[in-house]
Structures are given as structure tokens and as C-alpha cells.
Amino acid sequence: KKRFNIALLPGDGIGPEVIAVAKTVLQKAGSLEGLEFDFQEMPVGGAALDLVGVPMPEETFTAAKQSDAILLGAIGGYKWDKNEKHLRPEMALFYLRRDLKVFANLRPATVLPELVDASTLKKEVAEGVDMMIVRELTGGIYFGEPRGIKINENGEEVGISTEIYAAHEIDRIARVAFETARKRRGKLCSVDKANVLDASILWRKRVTALASEYPDVELSHMYVDNAAMQLIRDPKQFDTIVTNNIFGDILSDEASMITGSIGMLPSASLSESGPGLFEPIHGSAPDIAGQDKANPLATILSAAMLLKYGLGEEKAAKRIEDAVADALSKGFRTGDIYSPGNKLVGCKEMGEEVLKSVDSKVPAT
């Protein structure tokens, strides 16, 4: 039997609801492949602020750092929205990402055949969409210096954020993207704003220079405003997208809607060494928190990414992906992906159905 230490960081809002469900699914899929997990559940975000006064307690970071992989729910909520910046729950995400050095954020957007009707796009546009957004996660405008609210020479307040990328930061995320595209359909689209932003001009130059090392990958470039439009016009043109921190944040929320709901999109955040961080791309959804309405599939699929990318346990990961497809094919739907003719269920019941499917489905090898 193989044993793994998993840090569970439920966080706020719907975070604890979706993590509770994903944990049981992860446990079951793992056990069928001879894996055992020691879970260490730790407070993060608003939950940690309430408990110990900081969004990212030292103990939580240590547990995360020493784990084999981290599964995180979501962070944030109205209660802490007026906090000073360093005491906002979201800061926990920045500390985690930065200190774990998880620069490569993989956000797959796949339209499952069962969910074509849940997309807001026409069936023929949404059907068959299968893309991977590779988002740079530890640089750019989220972290660039100078930053902050300062007083300018006229004595006026100015808010400053700096979009900055060093060559090595571009190269390492580009390599991840080229490797990702190589294992997929061999197409890579680099999204930037090189007609305006200096950081993007360097971005395009470095990505272009690396292309010669990946002759099997077809590289293209697109401005981000056009990319936002093309995602809706013809999303099937995309295979792998590589982009900076903020464009990746925005485009992945947009891409999620093609698949039916933001409640469907998982993510993996990977470093060069050390544990990966796995989380749904959605937030704490305070508008539906505590009502058993959240779609747990994004977190369940994040657990599958944890198995695949974090632990190298592809068979167990496949069990989860198959079980999600199975529960959907039986017509179970949370409100965000509901369409008439299906069965409306809550977060817990959706979890139970996926769990049943993990148990009963023998995965194709």
C-alpha cells in the first residue's frame, strides 16, 4: 500500500462543502488503487482570520509545504471584504502560491458530452471543446513592484500595480506549455497584449525563441482582446493556451462558461519540486454558501488532477473522471448545470452519486 499526506484547506463559503465531498471521493478512488491518504485539515483564509487573526497561519503553511499534495476549497467572503489588504482572506492564496513556487497553473476546460446543453453557447459551437489554459501564477501584475497605494507629487493618492516579467519566468511557463501542447493536439496559442504592454513584448519574444526547441508544436500568438472574442466565437480552435497571470485568470472564468458552469473547472498549480496545489477555479460563492447548492464537481475533478499531476496516480484519477461522467450521464445536476429533464440535486447528493459511480464503474484500461 502506498501512503500519501494530503493537506486539506477547506477555506470559506462553499469551500468546506465541496472539500467534504471531494475528500470522500478521493479516498474511495485511491483505496481502489491501493492508495492510503493521511489528511491534515487546516484553516486558511477567512476561517483562519477568525480563528487566529491571520489568513495564512504558519502551521497551515508548514502542513501544506510538508504534504505530498494540497487540496484547497475556496477563500473569501463579505465578512472580510473591508479588511486591510494584508488581512484579506485572498492574501492566503498569494502567500501559498508564491511560497510553494507553484508558477504553472493548469486549467482544463472540457465540454463533457453529457453537459453540452448546459453551455450558454449553441450546441455546435460548444460540442467537443477541449482546451488547456496554462496560466502563469506567481508573477506579473499580481506580484510586480512597485505596488500599493501611494501619494504622488501632487499629494494625490495613486494605486499602483506593475506588470513585470523576467525572461526566466516567461521561459519556464512557456516550457510547461510547449510540453503540455506536445502531449495534447500539438497546438499552442500564446495570448498577450504585445501591441501595448512591454512585459508582453518580452513575453512574445521569449516564447517565439523557444519554439525552435519544439518543432512538433504549432505555435501561434493572439492579442488577449481578440482571444476573449475568439473563445466565444469558435472555442474549438484552441488546444493549449499559455498566458500571463491576470489574462489567465479572466480567460479561464470565461472558458468555464463554455463548459456549462464555473462549478465544473478544476486546476492544478505546479512547481519545479515540492507539493502541487489543487483547487477549483471558482471562489467561495458567498451567495449560495451554506445552502447545499454548490456544484462539487470542480473540486472533485481537482482531486483527480491531484492524483494525476501531484501523485502520478493516473488510474485513480481516471476512476474519478469516469465517475463524474457516469453521474452526469444518469442525469444528476446541481442548479448551475441544470437543464429540464434532469434530476436537480444538492452538493451532498451529487457527491454521493459520484461516490457510488466510483465504486461501481470498472475503469477501461
C-alpha cell at 169: 519566468
Question: Could you confirm whether 249 is annotated as catalytic?
Answer: yes
Shortest reach from residue 84's CB to Mn ion, in Å: 22
Residues 2-31, one symbol each (x = binds ligand NAD by CB under 6 A, - = not), give ------------x-----------------
How far apart CA 221 and CA 47 sit, in angstroms, is 41
Cβ atoms < 10 Å from Cβ of 15: 30
- The gap from C-alpha 259 to its chain's centroid, in whole angstroms, comes to 14
Upper half-sphere CA count for residue 109 (Cβ side, 13 Å): 31
Q: Which of 126, 117, 143, 97 is nearest to 269 (CA)?
A: 97
Active site residue 292: no
Site for ligand NAD in 262-291 (CB under 6 A): 262-263, 279, 282-288
Which position among 225, 234, 287, 359 bears the catalytic label?
225
Among the listed ranges 39-47, 204-212, 242-250, 319-327, the one in contact with Mn ion (CB under 5 A) is 242-250
Minimum distance from CB of 221 to ligand NAD (Å)? Answer: 28
Subset of residues 54 to 113 that bind ligand NAD, contact rule: CB under 6 A: 74-77, 90, 93
Q: Given CA atoms 64, 65, 66, 67 in this order, what sign does their dihedral have?
A: positive
Residues 156 to 175: which contact Mn ion by CB under 5 A? Answer: none
Under rule CB under 6 A, which residues in 54-93 are in contact with ligand IPM? 90, 93
Q: Could you give the angle at the alpha carbon of 142 between the alpha carbons of 166 and 297, nearest 5°?
A: 115
Rule CB under 6 A: is residue 134 a binding residue for ligand IPM?
Answer: no
Q: Is 225 a catalytic residue?
A: yes
Report the C-alpha gap between 153 and 125 in whole angstroms: 52
254 binds ligand IPM, rule: CB under 6 A: no
Largest Cα span, the chain: 69
Query: Is the CB of 179 or the CB of 292 nearer to ligand NAD?
Result: 292
Whether the Cβ atoms of residue 277 and residue 100 lie closer than 8 Å to each other: yes
Which of ligand IPM, ligand NAD, Mn ion, none binds 176 (CB below 5-8 Å, type-dependent)? none
Residues in touch with ligand IPM (CB under 6 A)? 90, 93, 249, 281, 283
